[in-house]
A and B are shown apart, each in its own frame.
Chain A
Amino acid sequence: MPLWIYFAVFAALTAGTLLTWWVSTIDLGMLNTPIALFIATTKAVLVILFFMHVIHSPRLTWVVIIASFLWLGVLFVLTFADYLTRTWKIY
C-alpha cells in the first residue's frame, strides 16, 4: 500500500477526533449521540480498512469481521427487544 494512504488515514482520524470533540460542545438535542456514533464508526472503519489492510484481505477476513458485528447486533437487538418494550418505561 502506498505510503501516502497511511498519512491520509491518519489525518482523517485526527480530524475526526477534533470533530467529535467540537460537536459535543454544541447542543443538537437528539442528534448529538447519533453524530458521535457515526464519527466513531467512520474512524473505526478507516482503521480496519487501511491500517489493518482489510481492503486487500481475502474474502474470508471480511466474513469474519462481518460475522462478529452481526453477532454483536443479535445481542443488542434481542436484548433491547425486551428493555424497550417493557410496560414500565425505562427511558
Chain B
Amino acid sequence: MSSLTSNDARFVEPEGARNYITHDYGALSWLLTKDHKRIAILYLISITALFMLGGFFAVVMRIELLTPEGDLLTSDTYNKFFTLHGIVMIFFFLIPSIPAVLGNFLLPLMLGAKDLAFPKINLLSWYLYIIAAVMGLYIIITGGVDTGWTFYTPFSTQYSNTHVFGVTFAAFIVGFSSILTGLNFLVTIHRMRAPGLTWFRLPLFVWAMYATSIVQLLATPVLAITLVMLMFERVVHVGIFDPALGGDPLLFQHMFWFYSHPAVYIMILPAMGVASEVVAAFTRKKIFGYSFVAYSSLAIAFLGFLVWAHHMFVAGISVYSAMIFSFLSYFVAVPSAIKVFNWTATLYRGSVALLTPMLYILGFIGLFTIGGVTGLFLAAIGLDVHVTDTYFVVAHFHYIMVGGAVMAYMAGLHYWWPKITGRMYPEWWARLAALLIFAGFNLTFFPQFILGYLGMPRRYHAYAPEFQVLNVMSTAGASVLAVGYALPLCYLIWSLWYGRPAGPNPWGAVGLEWTTSSPPPMENFHETPVVTWDAYDYPAMLKAMGETQNV
C-alpha cells in the first residue's frame, strides 16, 4: 500500500514483549482494570450482547408485520417488544457504542496520553452500565415494559402496569455512566494532550468526541431529574404530570426531549468523527476544510439543544413556540451539510481505496444525507402534522441511527480492529457483509418512508391489508440485514486467532494511534510522543516517518 508496512523493521516487537492484552491474565485483571483499552474491550463485549438482544426484538417485530393480522404477537406483547427494542438500542447500544468502545480505546492514543484523566471513574462508568443492563435484563425476563422508549406521561405514571419504575431507574443509572464518560473525555482532551498537540492539530475524531461529551454532560442530567420526577410520581402518586392534580403532562415531554433530541447528536457526532478519519485515510488526503469540520461539530452540539419541541408539534404546545422550534430546527442542518460537503470534497479526485471501512463510510454519507433531508421534512410543521407517528418517522430516524451511527460504528470497528487486536479481519468477507448491510438496510427502511407517507401508523401490531406488499419488502430487507450483522460477528471472532498479524500501521494512515505497536503496550507509547505536524498531513508525516528510521 505504501512505504509503511507491517514489515517495517523498527516496529518489530522484541520477542515476548507484552501488550495490553497479554500484560496480565485472569478474569479479575479485566474486571478490576483501570486501563482504558481493556475497559473499551469490556464495553465492546457488553454492547455487542445488548445489540443482539435489541436485534432479536426487531426481528420478531418484523416477522409479526409480515402479515396484516396480528398473528404472532398479541398487541400487548408487541407494545413491549417495540419499547424494549428502543430502550435497549438507544440507551444500551447507540449511546455508548462509538464513545465508550472506540472513544475509550482511541482517545488517549490519539492524544499521546497514557490513559484517560480519571481511570477509576472510567471503570465505574462501565460498572454503572452493567448494573443498569442487568436491571434491564431482569425486567425483560419478568414481564417487560410497554410505554415506548419515551416513557410519556400520564401513561407511564398512571396507567401502565408494567415495570416502569425499574426500567426508568435503569435508564437513570445508565445516564450516569454516560455523564461520567463524557466528563472523563472532556477533561482528558483539555489536560492530557501530548506536547505540541495543539487544538488544531487534533484528529477530527477527537473534535467529534469533544462535542459529543459536551452534549452528554449538559443534556443527561435533565433526563435524570425528569426520570426522578416520574419515579416519584409513580411511587407516591403526586401530580407533577397529572392534569387532575394540576400537573401538566407536556412538561414531561419538554424535559424528556431536552435530553433526547440532543441524544441523537450523542449518537451521530461520533459517527461523523469516524467518517472524517476513514475518509482521510483511504483517500490519502487532508480533510477538506479541517477547521469547518471541527467547528461544525461544536455548532451541532449547541444548536442541537435549541430544537427539541419539534417532537411535540401535535402535542399541544403553543403555535408561537412551534414556529420558533421549526425555524430553529433548520439551522441544525447547516453544520451537518457542511460536513457532508467537506467529505465529498475530500473524496473528489482522491485515490479512493475501496476497502471495508471506506465502503461503510460511503454508505454512511449517503444514508445520513437521506436521513437528514427527511429530518428537514419533519421539521416543517405542515408536513410533520401529516406524517407524525407514521412509519415515515420510523424510517427517518433509522436512516440516522442505523444508516448513520451503526454504519460508522462498523466502519470504525473495522478500521481500528487491527490496532485493537493486532490482527487483520478477512477483507473479502468484510466487504460482503458491508454490501449486505447496505442493501438490507435500504430494503428494510426505504419502503417505510412510503408506508408512512401513505399513512401507516407506527407502534401497531396489525395494519390495513393494502400496506402488505411494502411490509413484506421491509421484512425481507430485515432478514438480509440480520445476516449482514451476523457475518462480522463470526469473522471478527475468527480473526482473533486466524487473522493475519496486522503490524502497527496496516493502512499506512497518519495519527498517533498508528505510531505505536498493535495491540498497543500497557502504557500506550514506548516514549511520550511530541507532535510537530497537523492532522492528516500525509506528505509531511511520511517524510517525518522516514527520518526516524535513521534514529
Contacts and interface: CB of A to CB of B under 8 A. Distances in A.
A86 B305 contact: no
A87 interface: yes
A78 interface: yes
A74 B259 CA distance: 12
Interface in A17-71: 60, 67-68, 71
B222 interface: yes
Interface residues of A, number: 14
Given A71-B218, A74-B305, A74-B306, A85 B190 contact: no
A79 B190 CA distance: 32
A81 interface: yes
Contacts of B222: 75
A65 B65 CA distance: 50
Interface string B311-335: 0000001111100110000000000
Indicate the size class of the contact surface on chain B: 10 to 19
Q: Which 5 A-B pairs have the closest CB atoms?
A: A82-B321, A85-B320, A85-B318, A86-B318, A81-B321
Interface string B334-372: 000000000000000000000000000000000000000
A45 to B, nearest CB: 21
Given A85-B320, A87-B319, 9 more contacts: A60-B190, A74-B306, A78-B308, A78-B325, A81-B324, A82-B321, A83-B318, A86-B318, A87-B318
Contacts of B417: none
13 contacts: A71-B305, A78-B309, A78-B321, A78-B324, A79-B255, A79-B258, A81-B318, A81-B320, A81-B321, A81-B324, A82-B309, A82-B318, A83-B318
B245 to A, nearest CB: 16
A74 B262 CA distance: 13
Nearest to B315: A82
A87 B308 CA distance: 21
A44 B487 CA distance: 57
B309 to A, nearest CB: 7
A32 B372 CA distance: 48
Interface of B: 190, 218, 222, 250-251, 254-255, 258, 305-306, 308-309, 317-321, 324-325
B302 to A, nearest CB: 9
A9 to B, nearest CB: 28
Q: Is the interface of B mostly helix, strand, loop or mixed?
A: helix
Contacts of B318: 81-83, 85-87
Contacts of A78: 306, 308-309, 321, 324-325
Interface of A: 60, 67-68, 71, 74-75, 78-79, 81-83, 85-87
B305 A85 contact: no
Contacts of A83: 318
B379 to A, nearest CB: 15
Contacts of B309: 78, 82
A71 B317 CA distance: 21
A68 to B, nearest CB: 8
B154 to A, nearest CB: 18
Contacts of B251: 79
A85 B218 contact: no
A83 B320 CA distance: 10
Contacts of B306: 74, 78
B153 to A, nearest CB: 16
Contacts of B321: 78, 81-82, 85
B317 A75 contact: no
A82 B306 CA distance: 13
B305 A79 contact: no
Nearest to B218: A71
B228 to A, nearest CB: 16
B121 to A, nearest CB: 17
A82 B254 contact: yes
Contacts of A74: 305-306
Contact of B254 (A60, A71, A79, A86): A79
A87 B258 CA distance: 23
Nearest to B222: A75
Contacts of A60: 190
A81 B190 CA distance: 35
B482 to A, nearest CB: 40
